[in-house]
Amino acid sequence: MSPDDLLFGDEQAEASSEQPSVSTAPWPILVVDDDEQVHAMTRVLLNDFEFEGRRFAIVSAFSAAEARAILAERTDLPVVLLDVVMETQDAGLRLVHHIRRDLGNRHIRIILRTGQPGQAPERDVIVAYDINDYKSKAELTAQKLFTSLIGAVRGWRDLVTIETLNHSLERRVAERTAELERQTALADEQRRFIENLVEMMPSPVWYRDSAGRSTLCNRAFRDLFPDATDGIEWIVGAHGRTGTGTEAYSFETSVVGPDGDPRELLVVKRPLTAADGTAAGLIGIATDITERRRMEHELHRLATTDPLSGAHNRRHILDLLDRMLAGQGGAEPRPNVGPACLVMLDIDHFKRINDALGHAAGDAAIRSVVEEIRRHLRATDQIGRIGGEEFAILLADTSHTDGAAIAERLRSGLAALAIPLPDGRRFQLTGSFGLTDVRPLVDTVESVLGRADQALYRAKALGRNRVEQN
């Protein structure tokens, strides 16, 4: 396996970029010997040799001490040709020990040369002193010297390359470890931020894992359900449909708040899935829409109610009539809707009440009339103020005969009504009534109103305080 096989991807590219460019400088060979002729002869022997386009250059040291000084300054020396006996009988061996132990240099190739091989047994020396080759000076001919140097240079180069790659890998591992630690710290920080954010949210939030366990409920949820059991039961309960995909869905529901008052909630749920598509749980958020619903109801009341009388206003009572004519008892069509009646009521001589008793008495008369009429109506019947002292009364599912009877009761009730004034006085009034049938899917609002008005005008023309039919 080559050194490149140890790397992959950007590590290999980076390691390659760290390699020195191809050099043509000579290979430096450190010759350590106290004999000058050995240095000269080595130069002569290597003068004509090259390896990978580079010649060999001799770096001379004439003692072990001088070699130590050179080795302390240079780290580019691939090979040492080392004599054993110099200042002392074991100066060379001590230098080997210094290189390997003190300098920690395991790359440089050491070829031990001696003119007295018997003084240093080959096997013991090689094993004990980490020597790469052992030759006697007599056998180092030019060819053998070249062969030994080539093997040594190749070994040195391979070790340096491997170490460079190892350093690159170690640095990349350290960088990636630091990046992973940074990302982990960032993820932890983001997780804490999200947890704090969810906890601070004013809306109740919860999470159920794939096993159905409720593993998260924020402060707003706990405030809504101080009893944890109630909260868990509400989460698990059948609120809305069950999500089957990843799409969010919503629904409205009601709960009893911690103060005992009902709360209207808009609930949004979203099923969560893992990377492999399996269910990973469900997250939900509830928004309290109690106040919004109250405002909507109030706005609807204001939009459909006459502020003085509390009856429906003109637009709403006519809209109810229109829906009845369209065969709609509610939101859905009712093609077989039963008979119905419309009664128009006008307070007799209302202007006299205002002129004689004041507008406060007129307002009291209108409110009292509506109260008295409602006392005789069913839950399905409706009353609306058309304008001034005129009212429209819708009698649902009522035949003409029954409608006439109801109108007569209303007339009689108004005639018997005694309306109190703030000063203790009381006054009475009467009303004129016009009755007509409502024919769904046939009539229009205008046609029904027209017939009822005709009957009303006839009642007023015939003396008032009576019911006329059309």
Domain boundaries, the chain: 3-170, 205-293, 305-469
Provide the pLDDT for residue 361.
95
What is the rounded CA–CA span in Å between residue 108 and residue 51? 17
Tokens of 334: 């009712």
Confidence class for position 5, pLDDT limits 50, 70, 90: very low
| Residue 243 pLDDT > 90 | no
Provide the pLDDT for residue 216.
87
Q: Is 389 among the residues known to form the active site? A: yes
Q: Which of 131-135, 154-158, 181-185, 465-469 shows the lowest per-residue confidence on average (mean pLDDT)?
A: 131-135
| Residue 1 pLDDT > 90 | no
Longest dimension (CA), the chain: 157
| Residue 371 pLDDT > 60 | yes
Provide the pLDDT for residue 331.
40
Q: Which CATH architecture has domain 205-293?
A: 2-Layer Sandwich (3.30)
Chain-centre distance of CA 211, in angstroms? 21
**β-strand partners of 434:** 344, 468
| Pairing label, strands 340-347, 431-438 | antiparallel
Q: Which residue bears the tokens 């005129």? A: 390
Q: Which of 165-169, 287-291, 451-455 shows the lowest per-residue confidence on average (mean pLDDT)?
A: 165-169
| Pairing label, strands 262-273, 279-288 | antiparallel
Q: Please give the share of the chain, as a percent, with pLDDT higher than 90.
A: 58
Any residues with CB less than 8 A from the CB of 268 and at least 6 apart, and which?
248, 249, 250, 284, 285, 286, 287
Confidence class for position 2, pLDDT limits 50, 70, 90: very low
Amino acid letter at 463? G
Provide the pLDDT for residue 22.
60
User: What's the mean pLDDT in 130-135?
Assistant: 80
Residue 6 CB neighbour total at 10 angstroms: 15
Third-level CATH fold of 305-469: Alpha-Beta Plaits (3.30.70)
Of 288 and 228, the structure prediction assigns the larger pLDDT to 288
Third-level CATH fold of 3-170: Rossmann fold (3.40.50)
Contact yes or no for 361/427 (Cβ under 8 A) = yes
Tens digit of each residue's pLDDT (9 = 90 or more) over 32-47 = 999 999 999 989 988 8
**β-strand partners of 285:** 205, 268
Tens digit of each residue's pLDDT (9 = 90 or more) over 82-91 = 998 898 888 9
| Residue 8 pLDDT > 70 | no
The residue annotated as part of the active site, out of 163, 175, 389, 446, is 389
| Residue 10 pLDDT > 50 | no
Provide the pLDDT for residue 21.
52
User: What's the mean pLDDT in 409-432?
Assistant: 94
Q: How many residues does the chain have?
A: 470
Please state the φ and ψ torsions of residue 98, each to the nearest 5 degrees: -65, -45
Confidence class for position 223, pLDDT limits 50, 70, 90: very high
**β-strand partners of 387:** 390
| Residue 96 pLDDT > 70 | yes
Of 445 and 208, the structure prediction assigns the larger pLDDT to 445
Provide the pLDDT for residue 13.
44
| Residue 141 pLDDT > 70 | yes
Of 460 and 49, the structure prediction assigns the larger pLDDT to 460
| pTM to 2 decimal places | 0.53
Mean pLDDT score of the chain: 87
Amino acid letter at 8? F
Confidence class for position 329, pLDDT limits 50, 70, 90: low
| Residue 140 pLDDT > 80 | no
Closest among 361, 335, 327 to 347, alpha carbons compared: 361
Confidence class for position 278, pLDDT limits 50, 70, 90: confident
Tens digit of each residue's pLDDT (9 = 90 or more) over 14-23 = 444 444 456 7
